[in-house]
Amino acid sequence: MKIAVAGTGYVGLSNAILLAQNNEVVAVDVIKEKVDLINNKKSPIVDKEIEEYLSSHKLNLKATTDAESAYRDAEFVIIATPTNYDVEKNFFDTSSIETVISLVKKYNSSATIVIKSTIPVGYTERIRKEMEYENMIFSPEFLREGKALYDNLYPSRIVVSFPKDKPELKDKAETFAALLKQGAIKKEIEVLHPFCTEAEAIKLFANTYLAVRVAYFNELDTYAELNGLNAAQIIKGISLDPRIGDFYNNPSFGYGGYCLPKDTKQLKANFAGIPQNMISAVVASNDTRKEHITNQICAKSPKTVGIYRLTMKAGSDNFRQSAIQGIMNRLKSRGVHVVIYEPTWKQDTFEGYPVASDLSEFKNKCDVIIANRKSEDLKDVEDKVYTRDIFGNN
């Protein structure tokens, strides 16, 4: 079966590799450098399993910038393009999805479109009618950054939805779910086939729940820090309750990354006119946490503050919307000089901030060094380091 995948980020590339084990898959991207890397069996993103599967597994996969050749004759076209949050419109920017739909409609109107990009609740039903393309379903992703292929090989669940007003598309949803299951290593997988709008809600509510958990333990940590309490002891005692669990409880500088900030804001926007307190609170809590961290740094009266790594997680090269950037901007607005150490960034500046290339020089020039996660690199300057990393994990 021929499958086309639009987008080669974490979602697109992990799905392309998963499906290319048993199908002919063509990945489409507008960036030629990424296409060339994939065709040379190299990953354009940091992900252990993606790198391993590209380099050493037998895959029927090629990448191209030619959308027409990719979409023509494809039975399924997966859309995994980015949907950034537009703060002015207070909504996801779904224009990249609509561009792909237009191309598929032009080149292969019989293909079943599977949207995997994160979208607002109600989007699939609306866009099917607006763009007059009925053969469209939605399948949310539940992937971790840097573990995208692993999470597709060992999925927590597979969700492939179909339109409420077009029950005949359930067959397509079942077929696509079977393809995902076929490529997985895990065999006992819960498969769900809700309606499209319900599946969209599953995605946004799941990510917002994770954001609530991050915000909860961050606020616990703030309380402990300002009252001179041992946050690790409190968190350990709470987390041994099996109803709560000893996971996703390590304090940080706030939730960040590509998904949680935009998904929580989108869900809040979807709640317009609906009574709620918690969804607004989790969005506000993230800003409050960054403000608190900034206050704690400024209380040390530093002239120069160093940012050790823009990435939020070990083993990742992605720092889109990382929480530390909100703290950097707050420090700058208060007149504090900020310098960055980020070895994956090869330019001299990042968003107007100077980037140091030499770690020793970076450590010497900084009065305070902010590290979202502890590192052996900073052992010799522990007295300068400000971190809320309690457990040393992600």
> Along the 394 residues of the chain, how does pLDDT read in single tens digits?
999 999 999 999 999 999 999 999 999 999 999 999 999 999 999 899 999 999 999 999 999 999 999 999 999 999 999 998 777 777 789 999 999 999 999 999 999 999 999 999 999 999 999 999 999 999 999 998 889 999 999 999 999 999 999 999 999 999 999 999 999 999 999 999 999 999 999 999 999 999 999 999 999 999 999 999 999 999 999 999 999 999 999 999 998 876 888 889 999 998 999 999 999 999 999 999 999 999 999 999 999 999 999 876 655 555 666 889 999 999 999 999 999 999 988 899 999 999 999 999 999 999 999 998 889 999 999 999 999 999 976 5
| Close Cβ partners of 184 (under 8 Å, ≥ 6 residues apart) | 18, 152, 153, 154, 155
pLDDT at 317: 54
Closest by CA position to 27, among listed 72, 73, 70, 82: 70
What's the Cα-to-Cα distance from 265 to each of 44, 311, 371, rounded to whole Å? 29, 22, 26
CA dist 244 and 390 (Å) reads 18
pLDDT at 92: 86
CA dist 225 and 296 (Å) reads 10
Domains (range + CATH), the chain = 2-194 (3.40.50.720), 203-386 (3.40.50.720)
Q: What 3-state class would DSSP assign to 64?
A: strand
Of 196, 259, 298, 366, which residue is the catalytic one? 259
pLDDT at 387: 95
Q: Is 259 in the active site?
A: yes
Q: What 3-state class would DSSP assign to 394?
A: coil
Around Cβ 242, how many Cβ atoms within 10 Å? 7
pLDDT at 334: 96
pLDDT at 316: 54
Around Cβ 351, how many Cβ atoms within 10 Å? 11
